[in-house]
Amino acid sequence: MTAEASPRPRDVSLDVAKGVGIILVVIGHAWRGLESAGMIGDPRLFGLVDRLIYNFHMPLFFLLSGITFQDWVLRRPLGEAAISRVTRLLWPLVLWTYLFTAARLAAGDAANSQITGLQSLYFFPLPPRDHFWFLWALFLQQIAVLALIRLVTGPLPAPAWAALAGVMVVGSSVTPVGLNAWTVGALTYAGAFLTGLALGQTGWKPRGAAAVLTAGLLFLALQALSFQLPQTLLTSQLLGIALALAALVVIQGLVAGRSDTVIRGLTFLGLASMGIYLSHTIFSAATRAALARFSTDLTAHMVLGTLAGIVGPLLIYTVIRRVGRPHWIGF
């Protein structure tokens, strides 16, 4: 089977959505870091903010990853596509797992999760640790879909991907076999990834004020409903996919025809999202530790911690571009 597919024009709204998503990732980790440090105090406040973010921001990333994946696969030889998943997902996972652990070791008592001794660096990086689970989950999903498309079925239409998404959502929810440290991320977010694959074959992109308003109201209603729903794996998956779709519709509607400073900034953050994802916690945690010596103000910690988690990785990217290539460090 030969890989033949004409590349589609780049959809800026997907980059903007990644930009929004990576900001939420940094905010969410900064917020959880403050809770781990005992600086929030009010469990209801922590739970409210945490749930509103974590209800949908990771399903959004898996959804976005799926939208363009089939077209990407069909434009590359099988071997090249497989190797690129190793270099773009596994290599950053391994490198930054050790860098993150080394940063914790260097931080000493200032780290929320303290480690001591060089022997703490002697470990196998899989199953994934900390926030690097996302890279491993996405690697497993993309390798599985790559093999399916190129070795078994060929490219699939939207209904087939949608059916597979439904099977994975229900199957992973009612059959917990295989939900272990190695596979739990890939299986529980497979529904979102496959939904993205289905969406990518439709070319559907709602526009206009009515679509934005409807999706925005649906998003708010689902967020409110999430506090009443039973906390099961099935409901969390369905809720995450629905919220991610609603958020994407809002973003696409707001982006259409615009090219202002905000859109360009979010697009840039979307394009830089991998580097920010890999290294943001180091900068946010360092900012929290330094600021805690002078203030416990939550607003100051969140604003400065979020800014540090975004600006710090961008500075690394700027430096590495001057001396080498960003992909050397997974950016």
Question: Is 313 in contact with 283 (CB distance < 8 Å)?
Answer: yes
SS3 201: coil
Express each pLDDT in 149-164 by its tens digit: 999 999 999 999 999 9
C-alpha pair distances (Å), 278 with each of 25, 78, 210, 269, 331? 11, 27, 37, 13, 8
Q: State yes or no: pLDDT of 113 exceeds 80.
A: no
d(C-alpha 296, C-alpha 250), whole Å: 35
pTM: 0.93
Q: State yes or no: pLDDT of 81 exceeds 90.
A: yes
Express each pLDDT in 7-48 by its tens digit: 567 889 999 999 999 999 999 999 999 999 899 989 999 999
Express each pLDDT in 316-327 by its tens digit: 988 988 888 888
Q: State yes or no: pLDDT of 106 exceeds 80.
A: yes
Residue range 130-138: average pLDDT? Answer: 96
Residue range 248-276: average pLDDT? Answer: 92
Q: According to the model, what pLDDT value does residue 112 have?
A: 58
Report the length, in residues, of the chain. Answer: 331
pLDDT band of residue 176 (cuts 50, 70, 90) is low
Q: State yes or no: pLDDT of 2 exceeds 70.
A: no
Q: State yes or no: pLDDT of 136 exceeds 80.
A: yes
Q: According to the model, what pLDDT value does residue 241 have?
A: 98
User: Could you tell me which residues come within 8 angstroms of residue 299 by beta carbon, excluding any fewer than 6 positions away?
Assistant: none
Q: State yes or no: pLDDT of 1 exceeds 60.
A: no
Residue range 112-123: average pLDDT? Answer: 70
Q: According to the model, what pLDDT value does residue 225 have?
A: 97
SS3 295: coil
Residue range 277-298: average pLDDT? Answer: 93
Could you state, in order of their start, the residue ranges of all structural domains in the chain?
12-329
Q: State yes or no: pLDDT of 201 exceeds 80.
A: yes
Q: State yes or no: pLDDT of 6 exceeds 70.
A: no
d(C-alpha 164, C-alpha 43), whole Å: 38
Q: According to the model, what pLDDT value does residue 177 have?
A: 63
Segments in the chain forming alpha helices (H): 12-36, 43-54, 57-67, 69-74, 78-85, 91-107, 133-147, 158-174, 184-188, 190-200, 209-225, 233-255, 261-271, 273-291, 298-323
Q: According to the model, what pLDDT value does residue 109 have?
A: 66
